[in-house]
Amino acid sequence: MTDLTTEINGVDIHLPATVAAPLVTKALRDGTYEADEANAAERCVREGFRVLELGAGIGYVTSICARRTAPDNVLTVEANPALIPVIEANLARNGAEDVTVLHGAVVPRAGEGETGAFRVQDHFPASRLAAEGGRSVEVPLIGFHELLRAHRPHVVLMDIEGAEAHLFDRPWKCPLRFCVLELHPRHYPPRAIKRIVDAMSAMSMTYDPAVSRGKIIGFRRVWKEA
């Protein structure tokens, strides 16, 4: 496997051989990498919006968010330590150095200095907490609700390999307009998906067909009629 430098959807991407995975490389070459997530970012992120992205990957969707709004309005979180320099380099390639990049795994609540075992897989998008196989690394745990209070996002994007099921335990305290997440039904039962949908509905969010496709599900705020 060699380094790959390419452009996808107007975003310059460099993927070092040290973290390259065959499926990711193929998708980058044929232009299908995170296509649905990129479409969601293009549709949901608007000028002036603050964005919270959970699961930055290699910084592709992060870069799209940064060009839709100011880079310093974007906060992205990634648990895989090997991807942090890749994300930062790709953001720099696209003039988005002012994006805030946090290293850690997002959980509902986390104590100061708390860490967790993150399993890094050869196919890096499959890496996650509470997994089997791969290589175990201790990573900081970051409290989701604390992130919401601190950043107050209008848009939340998440692809965190099943951990999303635990982030809907109570209402989110932020001026949320859009939420887009990738569901991972292999990691939790249908009732967990129902809990996500019910929680969004309770926060005046409704299903958004414009960004939903397959396991990608989007929600948008329902504004009260005058």
pLDDT value, residue 168: 95
Residue 124, pLDDT > 90, answer no
Residue 34, pLDDT > 90, answer yes
Tokens of 195: 């809990």
Which residues have CB under 8 Å from 148's CB, separation 6+?
52, 172, 173, 174
Kindly state the average pLDDT of the residues 160-174: 92
Residues recorded for the chain: 226
In 3D space, the residue among 182, 179, 172 whose CA is nearest the CA of residue 208 turns out to be 179
CA gyration radius, the chain? 17
Top pLDDT among 8 and 162 is at 8
For residues 168 and 170, give the distance between their C-alpha atoms in angstroms, rounded to a whole number: 6
Q: Does domain 4-221 have CATH number 3.40.50.150?
A: yes
Question: The whole model's pTM is what?
Answer: 0.94
pLDDT value, residue 9: 94
- Model confidence at 127, pLDDT cuts 50, 70, 90, reads confident
For residues 123 and 169, give the distance between their C-alpha atoms in angstroms, rounded to a whole number: 30
- Give residue-wise pLDDT tens across range 66-108: 999 999 999 999 999 999 999 999 999 999 999 999 999 999 9
